[in-house]
Amino acid sequence: MNRITRREFVQTSAGLVISFYLPGRPVAARAPTAAPFAPNAWLRIGTDGIITLTLDKSEMGQGSQTGLALILAEELEADWSTVRLGPLPENPAAWSRTMRTGGSNAIRSSWQPLRKAGATAREMLVTAAAQTWQVDRATCRAEQGAVIHVPTGRRLRYGTLAARAAALPVPSEAPLKDPKDFRLVGTRVTRLDTPGKVDGSAVFGIDVKVPEMLVASIERSPVLGGRVKRFDADRAKAMPGVRHVVELEASSWMSSKGGGWAAGCAAGVAVVADTYWQAVEARRALVIEWDEGEASTLDSASIRAQLVALAERSGVVAQTIGDGIAAVANAATRVFAEYDVPFVHHATMEPMNCTAFVRSDGCDVWAPTQNQGDAQRVAAEVTGLPKEKVRIHTTLSGGGFGRRLEPDFVSEAVRVSQAVGAPVKVIWTREDDMRNGFYRPTSYNRFSAGLDASGRLVAWTHRIAGTPLRLKFGPLEKGIDDSLVDGAVDLPYAIPNLLVDQATLELAAVPRGPWRSVGVSHNGFVTECFLDEIAVAGGRDPFELRRELLRDKPRHRRTLEVAAEKAGWGSPLPPGRGRGIALAEWGPTVCVEVAEVTVEADGSVRVPRVVCAVDCGQTVNTGQIEAQMQGGVVFGLSAALYGEITLAHGRVVQGNFDTYPVVRMAVAPAVEVYIVPSSDPQGGAGEPGVPPIAPAVCNAIFAATGKRIRKLPIGKVIV
Q: Is residue 672 part of a domain?
A: yes
Q: Which of 392, 410, 435 is the last residue of a domain?
A: 435
In terms of domains, do 409 and 545 share one?
Answer: no
Q: Is residue 402 part of a domain?
A: yes
Kindly indicate the confidence band of residue 477, based on its pLDDT and cuts at 50, 70 and 90.
low
In terms of domains, do 92 and 224 share one?
Answer: no
Q: Which of 382, 417, 435 is the last residue of a domain?
A: 435
Closest CA to 427 of 204, 118, 693, 717: 204
In whole angstroms, what is the distance from residue 359 CA to residue 55 CA? 28
| 704 φ, ψ (degrees, to nearest 5) | -85, -30
In terms of domains, do 145 and 267 share one?
Answer: no
The secondary element (H helix, E strand) that includes residue 74 is helix 64-76
Amino acid 250: pLDDT: 87
- 8 A C-beta contact, residue 529 and residue 710: yes
Determine which of 5-14, 130-139, 450-459, 537-546 has the lowest per-residue pLDDT on average.
Answer: 5-14
In terms of domains, do 159 and 217 share one?
Answer: no
In terms of domains, do 386 and 525 share one?
Answer: no
As a whole number, mean pLDDT of residues 126-153 equals 97
CATH number of 392's domain: 3.30.365.10
As a whole number, mean pLDDT of residues 195-224 equals 97
As a whole number, mean pLDDT of residues 538-550 equals 98
Q: Which of 435, 463, 487 is the last residue of a domain?
A: 435
Question: Per-residue DSSP letters for 575-601?
Answer: TTEEEEEEEEEETTEEEEEEEEEEE-T
- DSSP, res 92: G
In terms of domains, do 51 and 144 share one?
Answer: yes
Q: Is residue 314 part of a domain?
A: no
Mean pLDDT, rounded, of the chain: 91
- For 612, the domain range is 520-719
Q: Is residue 24 part of a domain?
A: yes
Kindly indicate the confidence band of residue 64, based on its pLDDT and cuts at 50, 70 and 90.
very high
In terms of domains, do 664 and 688 share one?
Answer: yes
In terms of domains, do 424 and 524 share one?
Answer: no
In terms of domains, do 222 and 371 share one?
Answer: yes
Amino acid 97: pLDDT: 87
Residue 268, beta-bridge partner list: 220, 248
In terms of domains, do 605 and 698 share one?
Answer: yes
Determine which of 36-40, 207-211, 470-474, 556-560 has the lowest per-residue pLDDT on average.
Answer: 36-40
Closest CA to 144 of 130, 158, 123, 125: 158
In terms of domains, do 262 and 115 share one?
Answer: no
In terms of domains, do 109 and 243 share one?
Answer: no
Which tens digits make up the pLDDT trace of 305-343?
999 999 999 999 999 999 999 999 999 999 999 999 999
Amino acid 254: pLDDT: 58
Which tens digits make up the pLDDT trace of 6-38?
444 444 444 544 444 333 333 333 333 333 322
Q: Is residue 463 part of a domain?
A: no
Q: Is residue 95 part of a domain?
A: yes
Amino acid 48: pLDDT: 86
Q: Is residue 104 part of a domain?
A: yes
In whole angstroms, what is the distance from residue 462 CA to residue 445 CA? 7
What's the number of domains the chain is made of? 3
Q: Is residue 719 part of a domain?
A: yes
